[in-house]
Amino acid sequence: MSYHMKSAPELRQEMTGIERLSLRVSSMINHPLAQTQRWVLVHRLDTDGDAEWDEVMGLLSETPELDLTFNDDDSVTVRWQRSSVEARDDIIVEQGSDQGAPF
């Protein structure tokens, strides 16, 4: 006879409004079409609370690489310039050395 232990059901963690809005905006910005055109139009949904919207838009407006335009219809146009790898401080670019290729 075999004994099977029943595991307790896992509790599902609900996303907060800020997490949901941040994820939506991040997905929109990282979409290949948005990356090609370097802008995206973010519409405010009925489910976006005032505090969550203000928090996420405040964080975006503090990001120096982004230019936000707040439109009359409560949407926000987010624009950015193509960045060069050399201008970024979170990527290390190795400069060529005087030695030839090792192969």
94 domain-assigned: no
Helices 17-30 + 50-61 axis angle, to 10:
40
pTM tops 0.85:
no
What confidence score (pLDDT) does residue 99 get?
55
36 domain-assigned: yes
28 domain-assigned: yes
Residue-range definition of the domain harbouring residue 59:
17-83
Domain of 39, CATH number, reads 3.90.1070
25 domain-assigned: yes
27 domain-assigned: yes
Residue 97 has pLDDT above 70, yes or no: no
37 domain-assigned: yes
Going by pLDDT thresholds of 50, 70 and 90, the confidence category of residue 15 is: confident
| Torsion sign across C-alpha atoms 27, 73, 56, 87 | positive
Instruction: Please state the rounded mean pLDDT for residues 8-14.
Output: 75
Domain count, the chain: 1
98 domain-assigned: no
50 domain-assigned: yes
pLDDT in tens, 52-81: 999 999 999 999 999 999 999 999 999 999
Q: What are phi and psi of 53, to 5 degrees?
A: -60, -50
Cα–Cα separations (whole angstroms), residue 33 to 19, 30, 38, 67, 97: 23, 8, 8, 18, 37
Residue 31 has pLDDT above 70, yes or no: yes
- 25 and 42 in contact (C-beta within 8 Å)? yes
- 21 and 56 in contact (C-beta within 8 Å)? yes
